[in-house]
Amino acid sequence: MAISRHKARLLLLGPAGLWYAALLVLPLAVVLVYSFGERAAAGGYAPAFTLAQYANLGSRWAAFKNTLVLAPAGTLAALLIAYPLAYFLAVRVNPKWRTALLVLVIVPFWTSILIRSYAWIYLLGGRGIPTLLADLGLGDWRLINTPFAVLVGIVYGYLPLMVFPVYVSLEKLDKRLLEAAADLGAPPWRSFLQVTLPLSLPGVATGSMLVFILLMGEYLIPQMLGGGKVFFVGNALVDLFLQSRNWAFGSAMSVTLVATMLVVVTLYMRFLKRIGAARDDIGVM
Amino acid sequence: MTAPTRGEDESQAPVIAEFVDTTKRFGDIVAAERLNLQIRRGEFLSFLGPSGCGKTTALRMLAGLETPTEGRILIDGQDMGDAPAHRRPVNMVFQQYALFPHMTVAENVGYGLRQRRPRMDRAEIARRVDRALETVRLSDFGPRRIWQMSGGQQQRVALARAIVNEPKVLLLDEPMAALDAKLRGEMQMELLSLQRVLGITFILVTHDQQEALSMSDRICLMGQGRIVQIGTPRDLYDRPANRYAAGFVGSANMLDATVQSTADGQARVALADGSSVTVFSAGDRAAGDRVAIAVRPEALRLSVSDSVDAGATGFAATITHKTFLGEHIECLLHHPVLGQLQVNVPRQAERSLPGADVGRTVHVLWDHGSGLILGQD
Ligand SMILES: Nc1ncnc2c1ncn2[C@@H]1O[C@H](COP(=O)(O)OP(=O)(O)O)[C@@H](O)[C@H]1O
Ligand SMILES: [Mg+2]
């Protein structure tokens, strides 16, 4: 039985299309409409057309600030840790051990992030690392419920998501290109900057997008390791929708978050494209 | 100083690169064993041998991409020791080209020049890149991306990327292997004229004996990690050192024989069927020595008459296969004692052989002086 091209396309895209329409486009449209509304007297949503919610965003500035500082910082920190690790796994390690080591990278995922975050509460809490530091005479440290704790938590949680895309791009890099670079007179560090790095940028882009977008919406880790002091937009949203029941204001915040993400991602992609297309002497004196 | 001319003068040209007892092992595998070879400035030398015989390994040791397990590598009189690849005055054209996919053609070609310290002037780099692209006839292709180039064009980009650096030795690892037959022929001609124009020493790795014969000043024939014979293409073809060399470069009939007498580099030998021929003999042979004889298929003739002219030996054999190959006809014959013989009959000679078809018994004529005694092993 022949299926027409048209039907085939419908069959292929239908399920995903329905899914996205029902669970993404529609809710987003609702949120967008709500963001111009008001809080009903008893909480929830009352129809209106006002920009009042957007005008009020400044009252939640701290949540935006934390998110916009810690999400990029977490992404960057994850990248700085993941890149050398991925490089080691893809280029340096004896292939015999590679699979085993890759499995080790994802082993933490076998335990719920909730449980692992509890572990961090202990480690960073009063009786954990600070005690150790104090006993060693290294001074009095308060770690838990600080931006640092949240940063540690998010980097720890999202590291594998950065390692894998970078690993894949480095692994498929043709090693003969590095030999060619050496043959043409490039010392190892220069061939890294001129050949390895530019050719691994797609992996870097994928990894950092993945981590950054997830971090922008992060809720659990700031909740647990920030102790209500270091909260993200996600925490503010939970508060607005579930506690103060101000759906209109919550919607305005959500819309702003999504818009910010779009802007940042677009800028970042442009930036990567530019270095990707740039000469090979980027980053080299 | 002018580039040395090809031919006789070459033996006077200074040595530009040298293997001294160079051995390379990968674990238990001996990829190259005690190589001893001097390469002269301006010469075109080929490493020839079947796949896996260590040609690439030899080349990579020169480039500094492999470190010899034992022995030394000298370039222009300097012991390279552990000098890394990026400090050696040689450049390589890689087997699959290894062009940088994220750079344009011009950026690829200029890569080596951009590595120079102190830095080379940008305008100067651009000028030399243009000239190199012109040399390989890719003048207008500078801004193109690598994936926009055909296989043959990529090959020329790889060549330009190497020669632009004016290396003391240009190393080419089977550069033509991925090209189709016609393009390969053209590229061989181009490489040859390029080498004459530039006067750079070329070392070519190839498993294609035709390519090695047609292009090289000298051929270094390798087998199982060792050098089997070094010589001009004519040396290798006319005076193969042993069975392996005779069989790998061109084809040859190999026969057992017993020496009857020797004189002036010639030997009279008796073949297994009792007939005797005069052959070339390089080594010291004494009457009674059992030796192996090689004779090229084109050195033998066929005749349908029984008359054998003086100066030739003849024996009857039956034609079992005839293959038309254009310029000649390859005939396989069976002789009850000597076994299988191959005779290549030139197109023109075919007319004087009426009825020489498969199944027919004809005379194989062996002119005195054709063939030679092979060395041992
Ligand atoms: N990096 C390597 N590790 C292990 N064995 C190798 C390596 N490179 C080459 N060899 C082995 O050395 C031998 C010679 O290889 P190579 O020089 O590539 O031969 P050729 O170029 O003549 O085909 C082969 O047996 C090959 O398997
Ligand atoms: Mg090879």
How does pLDDT run across A43-89, given as a tens digit for each residue?
Answer: 889 899 999 999 999 999 999 999 999 999 999 999 999 999 999 99
What's the pLDDT tens digit per position in B115-135?
Answer: 999 999 999 999 999 999 999
Number of domains in chain B: 2
Rounded Cα–Cα distance for residues B207 and B174 (Å): 8
Could you tell which of B26, B28, B47, B51 is best to mutate to test the pocket of ligand 1, judged by most ligand atoms within 8 Å of the CB? B26
> Of B99, B107, B115, which has the smallest distance from its Cβ to A185's Cβ?
B115
Residue A278 scores a pLDDT above 60 = no
- When pLDDT is averaged across residues A136-144 and rounded to a whole number, the result is 88
Considering the domain architecture, whether residues B230 and B301 belong to the same structural domain is answered as no
Final residue of a domain: which of B232, B247, B262? B247
Radius of gyration of chain A measured on its C-alpha atoms: 23
| pLDDT tens-digit readout, B303-319 | 988 777 777 888 899 99
Is there a single domain that holds both residue B364 and residue B297?
A: yes
> Domain ranges in chain A?
66-230
Indicate the Cα dihedral angle B206, B208, B210, B213, nearest 10°.
Answer: 30
Q: B225, B230, B291: which is closest to B262 by C-alpha?
A: B291
**pLDDT score of A1:** 55
Distance of residue B373 Cα from the nearest chain A Cα, in angstroms: 44
Give the ligand whose atoms come closest to the C-alpha of residue B60: 1
User: Cα(B30) to centroid of ligand 1, in Å?
Assistant: 9
Least confident of A125-129, B135-139, B144-148, B157-161: A125-129
Smallest-distance ligand from the CA of B96: 2
Please state whether beta strands B90-93 and B169-173 pair in parallel, antiparallel, or not at all (unpaired).
parallel
Q: Are A153 and A117 in contact (CB under 8 A)?
A: yes
Identify all chain A residues contacting B85, using CB atoms and an 8 Å cutoff: 179, 182-183
Nearest to B89 by CA among A186, A176, A185: A185
Q: Which of A136-150, B20-34, B331-345 has the lowest mean pLDDT?
A: A136-150
User: Are residues B203 and B288 located together in one domain of the fold?
Assistant: no
- Whether A280 has a pLDDT exceeding 50, the answer reads no
A49: nearest Cα among A189, A276, A248: A248
A124-128, A174-178, B110-114, B217-221: least confidently modelled range: A124-128
CATH T-level topology, domain A66-230: MetI-like fold (1.10.3720)
- A195 in B contact zone (CB under 8 Å): yes
* Binary contact (A280, B111; C-beta < 8 A): yes
Distance between the two ends of chain B, CA-based, in angstroms? 44
Q: What is the mean pLDDT of residues A165-170?
A: 95
B232 and B273: one domain? no
> Above pLDDT 70, what percent of chain A?
95
Residues whose Cβ atom is located within 5 A of ion ligand 2:
B 56
Q: Atom 21 in ligand 1: which residue has the minimum CA distance?
A: B56
Would you state the pLDDT for residue A284? 31
Lining residues, ligand 1, CB within 6 Å: B 26, 29, 31, 49, 51-57
Q: What is the mean pLDDT of chain B?
A: 92
Q: Count residue pairs from A and B with Cβ separation < 8 A.
A: 66
Q: Check if A285 contacts B (Cβ < 8 Å).
A: no
B125 part of contact set with chain A, CB < 8 Å: no
Q: Best interface-test mutation with A: which of B65, B100, B146, B164 has the largest number of A CBs within 10 A?
A: B100
**What is the pLDDT, as a whole number, of residue B3?**
44
Q: How many angstroms is it from A252 CA to the middle of ligand 1?
A: 65
Which residue has the least CA distance to atom 13 on ligand 1? B31
CB-CB neighbors (< 8 A) of B165 in chain A: 184-185
Assess whether B132 and B212 both reside in one domain: yes
Does A125 or A181 have the greater pLDDT score?
Answer: A181
Domain boundary residue, one of B215, B247, B279: B247
Angle at A248 between CA A243 and CA A254, to 5 degrees: 85
**What residue in A sits closest to B165 (Cα-Cα)?**
A184
Q: Do B114 and A276 touch (CB under 8 A)?
A: no
Yes or no, beta carbons of A186 and B86 under 8 Å apart: yes
Asked if the bond preceding B118 is cis, omega within 30° of 0, the reply is yes
B242 and B263, same domain (yes or no): no
Q: How many Å apart are CA B98 and CA B326, to the nearest integer?
A: 38
Contact A179 B65 (CB under 8 A): yes
CA-closest residue to ligand 1 atom 7: B26
Give the closest residue (by CA) to ligand 1 atom 27: B52
**Looking at the partner chain, which of B64, B94, B107 has a beta carbon nearest the beta carbon of A280?**
B107
Do B240 and B257 lie in one domain? The reply is no
Q: Is B159 a domain residue?
A: yes
Mutation site for A-interface testing, chosen from B82, B86, B119, B173 by largest number of A Cβ within 10 Å: B86
What's the confidence (pLDDT) of residue A148?
Answer: 94
| Residues A37, A248 contacting (CB under 8 angstroms) | yes
Say yes or no for a CB contact (<8 Å) between A280 and B114: yes
pLDDT digits (tens, 9 = 90+) for B147-206: 999 999 999 999 999 999 999 999 999 998 888 888 899 989 999 999 999 999 999 999
* Record: contact B92-A174, CB cut-off 8 A: no
Q: Is B143 at the interface with chain A, CB within 8 A?
A: no
A229-273 pLDDT, tens per residue? 899 999 999 999 998 899 999 999 999 999 999 998 899 888 877
Identify the residue whose C-alpha is closest to ligand 1 atom 11.
Answer: B31
Q: pTM of the prediction?
A: 0.85
Note whether residue B1 is domain-resident.
no
Both B221 and B261 in a single domain?
Answer: no
Q: What is the rounded CA–CA span in Å between residue B245 and residue B228?
A: 7
Which one-letter DSSP state was computed for residue B179? S
Whether B2 is covered by a domain: the verdict is: no
Range of the domain at B335: 251-373
- In a domain? residue B120: yes
In angstroms, the CA B137 to CA B140 distance is: 9
B217 and B358 both lie in a single domain? no
Please report the atom of ligand 1 found closest to the CA of residue B51. 23
Residues B243 and B321 in one domain: no
pLDDT for position A237: 93
Indicate which CATH number applies to the domain containing B58: 3.40.50.300
In a domain, B273, yes or no: yes
- Residue whose CA is at the smallest distance from ligand 1 atom 12: B31
Tokens of B341: 């013989």
Per DSSP, B145 falls in state B
Do B211 and B68 belong together in one domain? Answer: yes
CATH number, residue B278: 2.40.50.100
Asked if residue B242 and residue B257 are part of one domain, the reply reads: no
Consecutive H or E run containing B134: helix B122-135
CB-based contact, B65 to chain A, within 8 Å: yes
Which residue minimizes the CA distance to atom 24 of ligand 1? B52
